[in-house]
A and B are shown apart, each in its own frame.
Chain A
């Protein structure tokens, strides 16, 4: 099956600093990457959608200048949380769809392991 590798799995940072989260598709081309945020015991809330080589499309209420998304290649997308504050503490998870190895990578969304961000 298709594998999405997300790093780091957890990070603690000081308020005001920036944190970069990486998602890599290991055996397929991730033409589309979705970034989600999940609060404890809640659903996955889509933050933005990015297509390789294009600017990300942000969901309503998500600050694009605070959550910088880069999808410069078919195997790598990054989310940078800039000037992080305690309220940004959450579980961030990426999901990729694309073309390549398996039967239905063009519709099935494969998730990364997630990154637990704690801002102190």
Chain B
């Protein structure tokens, strides 16, 4: 089955600086890669996703890059703000039919230092 590794497990960044979280996956059949943000005690919220036919996607301060050959993808947050503090999870899934399961990474606790 799919195995998703995520690094680092914790990350502290000065407000205004950039944060980068990296994930690797094992199953070459995976072609959908979402990123979720989870605040304490709350549900994960999708913040950005990318499919395998795209190498990079950007949404305001958030961007995701994908290298299918190397089987890794990364989340980039620029101009970080205190409200970016949360746990971030990457995930991978094969197919786009909706019933394929998501395999999650172990999470990164991001702390933005004011």
Which residues in A have some Cβ–Cβ distance to B below 8 Å?
A: 31-32, 34, 41-46, 49, 51, 93, 95, 97-99, 105-114, 116
Contact = CB atoms under 8 A, between A and B. Distances in A.
A113 B39 CA distance: 11
B43 A49 contact: no
Interface size class of B (residues with CB under 8 A): 20 to 34
25 contacts: A31-B98, A34-B102, A41-B109, A42-B106, A43-B104, A43-B106, A43-B107, A44-B44, A44-B104, A45-B104, A46-B102, A46-B103, A49-B99, A93-B43, A93-B44, A95-B102, A97-B98, A98-B98, A107-B32, A107-B49, A107-B93, A108-B34, A109-B46, A110-B46, A114-B41
Contacts, number: 60
A58 B85 CA distance: 33
Nearest to A60: B1
A97 B99 contact: yes
A111 B102 contact: no
B89 A44 contact: yes
A110 B43 CA distance: 9
Interface string B92-114: 01001111011111110100000
Nearest to A10: B41
B112 to A, nearest CB: 18
B61 interface: no
B43 A113 contact: yes
A114 to B, nearest CB: 6
Contact of B98 (A32, A44, A112, A116): A32
Nearest to B43: A111
A107 B96 contact: yes
A93 B105 CA distance: 16
A57 B34 CA distance: 22
Contact of B96 (A99, A106, A110, A113): A106
